[in-house]
Amino acid sequence: MDCPACKNAMIILELDQVETDYCTNCGGIWLDAGELELLFADTAQAQQLVASLQQADVEVRSHPCPICLKKMQKVLAADENQPLVIDRCPKGHGLWFDRGELSQILARGNFDKEKKVIKLLSEMFSHKSEAKK
Amino acid sequence: MNILLLLIVIIVLFVVFVIGIYNALVRLRNQVKNAWSQIDVQLKRRHDLIPNLIETAKGYMQHERGTLEAVTNARSQAMGAKGVAESAKAEGVLGKALSKFLLTVEAYPDLKANQNFLALQEELSSTENKIAFSRQAYNDQVLFFNNKIQMFPSNIVAGMFNFAKRDFFEIDTAEKAVPKVSF
Amino acid sequence: MWEQIRANKRNSILLLALMAAVLALLGWFIGRSISPDPIAGLFGIVIALIIWMILAMVSFSSGDAIFLTASKAVPVTKAVHPQLFNVVEEMAIAAQMPMPKIYIINDPAPNAFATGRNPQNASVAITAGLLGRLSRDELQGVIAHEMSHILHRDILFVTIAGVMLGTITLISEIFLRGMFYSSMTRRYSSRNRGGGQTQTIMLVIAIVAAILAPIMATLLYFALSRKREYLADAGSARLTRYPEGLASALEKISQNKTPLSVANKITAPMYIVNPLQKKGMKLSDLTSTHPPISQRVKILRGMAGASFANYSDAFKKTTKHSTPIPSSALKEETVQIRTAGPQKSVDSKKQTRDIGDIMQKTLGFSFINCSCGLKIKVPPNYKSPQVQCPRCGTVSAV
pLDDT tens-digit series, residues B24-62: 999 999 989 988 988 899 999 999 999 998 888 888 888
Nearest by CB to residue A14, choosing from C377, C381, C393, is C377
Tell me the shortest Cα–Cα distance from A59 to chain C, in angstroms: 31
Contact (CB, 8 A) for C227 and C149: no
List, for residues C288-344, the tens digit of each pLDDT value.
567 788 889 999 999 988 888 899 889 988 888 878 787 777 776 777 788 777 777
Model pLDDT, residue C266: 55
List, for residues B120-150, the tens digit of each pLDDT value.
989 998 998 899 888 888 888 888 889 888 8
Instruction: Tell me which residues of chain A, numbers 5 to 44, contact chain C at a CB-CB cutoff of 8 Å.
Output: 8-15, 17, 19, 22, 24, 38, 41
Q: What is the CA radius of gyration of chain B?
A: 24
Instruction: Examine residue A48 and state whether it is found in any structural domain, yes or no.
Output: yes
Q: Could you state, in order of their start, the residue ranges of all structural domains in chain B?
A: 33-132
Tell me the shortest Cα–Cα distance from A123 to chain C, in angstroms: 7
Nearest by CB to residue C390, choosing from A10, A19, A127, is A127
C259 pLDDT higher than 60: yes
Q: Which amino acid is at B138?
A: Y
Least Cα distance to A121 among A129, A48, A113, A63 occurs for A129
Cross-chain residue pair C360–A15, CB shorter than 8 Å: no
B176 pLDDT higher than 50: no
List, for residues C55-103, the tens digit of each pLDDT value.
888 777 776 777 777 778 889 888 889 999 999 999 999 888 899 999 9
Mean pLDDT of C239-258: 86
- From chain A, the residues in CB contact with C392 under 8 A are 126-127
Cross-chain residue pair C93–B119, CB shorter than 8 Å: no
Tell me the shortest Cα–Cα distance from A6 to chain C, in angstroms: 13
C166 pLDDT higher than 70: yes
Contact (CB, 8 A) for C241 and C306: yes
Grouping H, G, I as helix, E, B as strand and the rest as coil, residue C99 is: coil
Q: Which amino acid is at C54?
A: I
Cross-chain residue pair C381–A11, CB shorter than 8 Å: no
Cross-chain residue pair C83–B136, CB shorter than 8 Å: no
Instruction: Examine residue A64 and state whether it is found in any structural domain, yes or no.
Output: yes
Query: Quick check: C197 contacting B, CB < 8 Å?
Result: no
Alpha-carbon span C1 to B146, nearest angstrom: 20
Q: With bands split at pLDDT 50, 70 and 90, how would you rate the model's confidence at B174? A: very low
Contact (CB, 8 A) for C165 and C266: yes
Instruction: Examine residue A131 and state whether it is found in any structural domain, yes or no.
Output: no
**B24 CA to centre of own chain:** 24
**How many Cβ pairs closer than 8 A exist between chain B and C?**
28
φ, ψ (nearest 5 deg) of residue B52:
-60, -45
Tell me the shortest Cα–Cα distance from C360 to chain A, in angstroms: 10
In the structure, do chain A and chain C come into contact, i.e. share 3 or more CB pairs under 8 Å?
A: yes
Instruction: Examine residue A2 and state whether it is found in any structural domain, yes or no.
Output: no
Of A27-31, B65-69, C217-221, give the lowest mean pLDDT range. Answer: C217-221
Q: What is the pLDDT along chain A (133 residues), one digit of tens a residue?
A: 888 888 889 999 998 888 899 998 888 899 888 888 888 877 777 777 777 777 777 767 778 888 888 888 888 776 656 667 888 888 888 888 888 787 777 777 667 767 778 888 888 888 765 544 4
Mean pLDDT of B76-95: 87
Count Cβ atoms within 10 A of the Cβ of residue C49 and give its class: 0-12 exposed, 13-18 middle, 19 or more buried: middle
B89 pLDDT higher than 50: yes
Cross-chain residue pair C90–B133, CB shorter than 8 Å: yes
C272 pLDDT higher than 80: no
Tell me the shortest Cα–Cα distance from B126 to chain C, in angstroms: 6
Model pLDDT, residue C263: 59
C176 pLDDT higher than 50: yes
What percent of chain B stands above pLDDT 70?
93
Query: Quick check: A69 contacting C, CB < 8 Å?
Result: no
Count Cβ atoms within 10 A of the Cβ of residue C184 and give its class: 0-12 exposed, 13-18 middle, 19 or more buried: exposed
Q: With bands split at pLDDT 50, 70 and 90, how would you rate the model's confidence at B103? A: confident
> What is the ipTM score, two decimals?
0.85
**How many Cβ pairs closer than 8 A exist between chain A and C?**
65
Taken in order C116, C118, C120, C126, is the CA torsion positive or negative? positive
Instruction: Examine residue A5 and state whether it is found in any structural domain, yes or no.
Output: no
- From chain A, the residues in CB contact with C356 under 8 A are 19
Q: What pairing do the DSSP bridges indicate for beta strands C123-127 and C101-105?
A: parallel
Instruction: Examine residue A3 and state whether it is found in any structural domain, yes or no.
Output: no
Nearest by CB to residue C82, choosing from B38, B122, B130, is B122
Closest Cα in chain A to C381: A9
**Quick one: DSSP state of residue C272?**
S
C51 pLDDT higher than 90: no
In the structure, do chain C and chain B come into contact, i.e. share 3 or more CB pairs under 8 Å?
A: yes
Tell me the shortest Cα–Cα distance from C279 to chain A, in angstroms: 21
More confident residue, C5 or C143: C143
Active site residue C146: yes
Closest Cα in chain C to A8: C382
Nearest by CB to residue C383, choosing from A9, A125, A127, is A9
Least Cα distance to A28 among A102, A133, A117, A78 occurs for A102
- From chain C, the residues in CB contact with B38 under 8 A are 93
With contact defined as 3+ CB pairs under 8 Å, the chains touching C are A, B
More confident residue, B25 or C280: B25
Alpha-carbon span C242 to C141, nearest angstrom: 8
Mean pLDDT of C336-355: 77
Q: With bands split at pLDDT 50, 70 and 90, how would you rate the model's confidence at C279? A: very low
Instruction: Examine residue A96 and state whether it is found in any structural domain, yes or no.
Output: yes
B157 pLDDT higher than 90: no
Helix, strand, coil shares, percent, chain B, to 5 = 80, 0, 20
Cross-chain residue pair B115–C369, CB shorter than 8 Å: yes
What percent of chain C stands above pLDDT 70?
84
Instruction: Examine residue A133 and state whether it is found in any structural domain, yes or no.
Output: no
Q: With bands split at pLDDT 50, 70 and 90, how would you rate the model's confidence at C280? A: very low
pTM of the model: 0.78
More confident residue, B153 or B23: B23
Bridge partners of A14, per DSSP, are: A19, C375
Range(s) of the domain holding residue A105: 11-125
Mean pLDDT of C175-186: 73
Query: Quick check: C354 contacting B, CB < 8 Å?
Result: no
Alpha-carbon span C371 to C390, nearest angstrom: 12
Contact (CB, 8 A) for C73 and C102: no
